[in-house]
Structure 1
Amino acid sequence: MQPIKPRILAIDDTPGNLFTLGTALVSEFDLEIATSGSQGLAMARKSVPDLILLDIMMPDMDGLETCRRFREDPRLAAVPVIFLTALTGVESEMAGLDLGVADYITKPFNLDIVKLRIRNTLRLVSLNREVRASEERMRFVLEATGDGIWDWQIDIDQISHNEAWCHMLGLDSRFLHHPIATYVERVHPEDLAAVEEALDDSAQGNTKFTVEYRIRHGDGHYLWVSDTGQVVDRDRDGKASRMVGCIKNIDDRRRSEADIQRLAFFDPLTELPNRRLLMDRLQQAIIRNVRNNTRGALLFLDMDHFKQLNDTHGHAMGDAMLIQVAGRLSGCVREQDTVARLGGDEFVVLLEALPADPVAATNSAKMVGEKLLGALNSPYLLGDVIHHSSPSIGLTLFGRDNENIHAILQRADQAMYAAKEGGRNTLRLLVDGERLGAA
């Protein structure tokens, strides 16, 4: 039995774009096309798709308005939308993000990227569904059979559990009753302070105790649990003397959330931060510069003649080299710095906490750039092939609180192209639009 293909609705007023998308996607997806926003709305309402590709620039009703109408329809509100656009302005991107679009695909289309972004978006939707389904299953189990129950006699420092609690943690009946210290020893050291604070708040303020933390299983590994409890008895002085609560296993949910986080913010090949996470960290770095009177630097790297490696030895060999490049870059910077992959063979290194003096900051950044040049010039062992490559690196500084993150990245990109024009395998510096020459 053939698996059901995901249904994609592509809305674009340009027939050539629809033909290009249809040719590329038809083998993997069930593709429907519409040439206007109103036609796309009608088709989606008749049969809800799994994902919508939506052109921004269309006559009569543009993509933004079409997306608003999708969001107003309860049956279509949750369908992920990817914008197709030739626009690069921040305003259009912000408008789309306000509407909750899943991603952007720029024209002209790179069909490999189109497919990858569609797959990633559908995977994120699937993971979200799995999280919701997992939560529903856990709720059913709790209502039907009960999760782990605990009863803490505070005045005698003893805690009791039901069989479900022992089963959840892989413990035998000897752990049905024990001193509270035995329980505390099983809480992950990094989470213990949060658990104790929540318990104190509940005991002092008569509020519900609720916290998520890791607890050690009988076989030694840690699992995530959600713990909820309440003070049910106090002594004559009002001091809490007994608490009862319920604990449930949320390890699957936490793992799914971690998978979603990784798909959304990290490059799947190199496991480096992606563009989205880089831009967030760059914005935070600007804020820290102002607070701490420091500067930062951005190094934009492109591997020279990378396409030749792919064309000669195939994409698998190219991917293997990119993984090695990522490892070498990460090994050249401090823990507080960021190495990100933008896509293809383009990488960015974000340096933080450089000296406030621009000359000193430039010298520090240059030293890192030279270190990167050396590391990336070493031969790459790719299976049975020894491959030699080099990077072209663009460098720019930033430090003002009103600097635009896109402008900073553009400066670094321009400096990188200056390095390409200067013969490759070199470092170029660009500050406020003025090239200062070889770094």
Structure 2
Amino acid sequence: MNSDSYILVVDDQMANIEALGELLADQYDVHFALSGQAALAQVAKSKPDLILLDIMMPDMDGYAVCRQLQSQLETADIPVMFITALATPDEETRGLDAGAVDYIVKPFNPTIVRARVRNHLAFKHAKDQLRLLAQTDGLTGLANRRYLFERLQAELERVREQAAQPFSLILIDVDHFKHYNDSQGHVAGDLCLQRVAGVLKAELRNPDDMMARYGGEEFCCLLPHTGLADAEQIALRICRRINELAIPNADVEHDAQRVVTVSAGVALCTAAMASVETLLQQADRALYTAKAAGRNQVKVWV
């Protein structure tokens, strides 16, 4: 954990930055920012595991930086340690109320700073592991339904508030899966879903893309910054690659396919979208159309 942990030190005095860098750089990946605004810009590019933050800075004080980090879903979980010359109990209370996990007064004791940094990083690592478990479907390793809805809501709010690029959604259903389960058994059914999930994972091209198990044999692909045409191509590629797995699914009545296939419905979310439920309904209707048209194909809601 130590060598990979990324710490951001924020202070407008180079002497303080050099002192903390010398103290921590042998154990952690330490980066620096000389102002509050520079710190926020750096966090937007790459999230640190821990921030050591001064309070008294000219452009934006540490309290404001901490409050802004706490107000954003993407950065609220980053622990912040204030390291400051402000030594009164009122200032310490203010710092902790702003969301900091610790408050250290300068001049600091190097041994104590090392110990507290180590403890806060260990605690964050444990929290991250628990959060990952809570967000993951146990069978497939994809995101679970609960986390999917959290991300969908966050993406919808981002599109509305920031006039951001619309995003696309793909709903995918394994064709004739009940027949497969009944004929092959539930163990084989679970393995089939895991192999389908593997194809979906391989389609994760951008850091913000997310593949989730929507329920049963149904999956969902959340594709931020992706338009309808590109999402349709991704869905077509997924269908083709599931076919290429050649998982036998013989004796399906009235179906020329003798392997496991999937059908997909694609929909686009814009700022005018009423709700996440509306988006899912549109993707589900497109999926129903694909099923009704013979399965093993993609339909787009327009």
Fold match (TM-score > 0.5): yes
What whole-Å deviation, never above 9, does each CA across 1:151-175 have from its counterpart, x for those lacking one?
Answer: xxx99x99xxxxxxxxxxxxxxxxx
Q: Where in structure 1 are there 5+ consecutive unaligned residues? A: 1-153, 159-178, 212-225, 232-239, 355-360, 432-439
Q: What is residue 307 of structure 1 aligned with on the other side?
A: 178
Task: Quickly say closer, same or farther: Cα 1:264–1:303, change in 2 above 3 A.
Answer: same
Task: Quickly say closer, same or farther: Cα 1:185–1:208, change in 2 above 3 A.
Answer: farther
The alpha carbon displacement at 1:253 in A equals: 4.9
The alpha carbon displacement at 1:393 in A equals: 0.8
The alpha carbon displacement at 1:390 in A equals: 0.8
Q: What is residue 321 of structure 1 aligned with on the other side?
A: 192
Q: What is residue 194 of structure 1 aligned with on the other side?
A: 51
Alpha-carbon distance in structure 2 between the residues aligned to 1:333 and 1:421:
28
Task: Quickly say closer, same or farther: Cα 1:189–1:408, change in 2 above 3 A.
Answer: same
1:6-405 matched pairs, under 5 angstroms:
181=22, 183-189=24-30, 191=48, 194-195=51-52, 197=54, 202-206=83-87, 229-231=104-106, 240=107, 245=112, 247=115, 249=119, 253-254=123-124, 256-290=126-160, 291-335=162-206, 336-354=208-226, 361-380=227-246, 388-405=259-276
The alpha carbon displacement at 1:184 in A equals: 3.1
Instruction: Note if contact 1:286-1:401 (Cα within 8 Å) is conserved in structure 2.
Output: no
The alpha carbon displacement at 1:259 in A equals: 4.4
What whole-Å deviation, never above 9, does each CA across 1:11-54 have from its counterpart, x for those lacking one?
Answer: xxxxxxxxxxxxxxxxxxxxxxxxxxxxxxxxxxxxxxxxxxxx
Q: Where in structure 2 are there 5+ consecutive unaligned residues? A: 1-14, 32-47, 58-81, 249-257
What whole-Å deviation, never above 9, does each CA across 1:170-226 have from its counterpart, x for those lacking one?
Answer: xxxxxxxxx972543213447587236589953343365999xxxxxxxxxxxxxx8
Alpha-carbon distance in structure 1 between the residues aligned to 2:56 and 2:141:
37
Q: What is residue 62 of structure 2 aligned with on the other side?
A: none
Alpha-carbon distance in structure 2 between the residues aligned to 1:253 and 1:285:
28
Higher relative contact order (CA 8 A, sep 6+): 2
Task: Quickly say closer, same or farther: Cα 1:205–1:381, change in 2 above 3 A.
Answer: farther
Q: What is residue 252 of structure 2 aligned with on the other side?
A: none
Alpha-carbon distance in structure 1 between the residues aligned to 2:112 and 2:92:
10
Greater percentage in strand: 1
**What amino acid sits opposite 2:279 in the alignment?**
I
What whole-Å deviation, never above 9, does each CA across 1:101-127 have from its counterpart, x for those lacking one?
Answer: xxxxxxxxxxxxxxxxxxxxxxxxxxx
Aligned length: 225
Task: Quickly say closer, same or farther: Cα 1:323–1:189, change in 2 above 3 A.
Answer: farther
Task: Give the greater-gyration-radius structure (CA).
Answer: 1
Alpha-carbon distance in structure 1 between the residues aligned to 2:21 and 2:168:
51
SS in 1 for 2:112: strand
Give the percent of matched residue pairs that are identical in Structure 1 and Structure 2. 27
Give the RMSD, CA atoms, in angstroms: 3.7
The alpha carbon displacement at 1:348 in A equals: 0.8
**What amino acid sits opposite 2:131 in the alignment?**
Q
Instruction: Note if contact 1:333-1:368 (Cα within 8 Å) is conserved in structure 2.
Output: no
Instruction: Note if contact 1:227-1:245 (Cα within 8 Å) is conserved in structure 2.
Output: no
**What amino acid sits opposite 2:260 in the alignment?**
S
Alpha-carbon distance in structure 2 between the residues aligned to 1:425 and 1:241:
65
Instruction: Note if contact 1:202-1:208 (Cα within 8 Å) is conserved in structure 2.
Output: no
The alpha carbon displacement at 1:416 in A equals: 1.0
Instruction: Note if contact 2:50-2:121 (Cα within 8 Å) is conserved in structure 1.
Output: no
Task: Quickly say closer, same or farther: Cα 1:311–1:256, change in 2 above 3 A.
Answer: farther
Task: Quickly say closer, same or farther: Cα 1:192–1:350, change in 2 above 3 A.
Answer: closer
Alpha-carbon distance in structure 1 between the residues aligned to 2:166 and 2:108:
54
Task: Quickly say closer, same or farther: Cα 1:208–1:186, change in 2 above 3 A.
Answer: farther
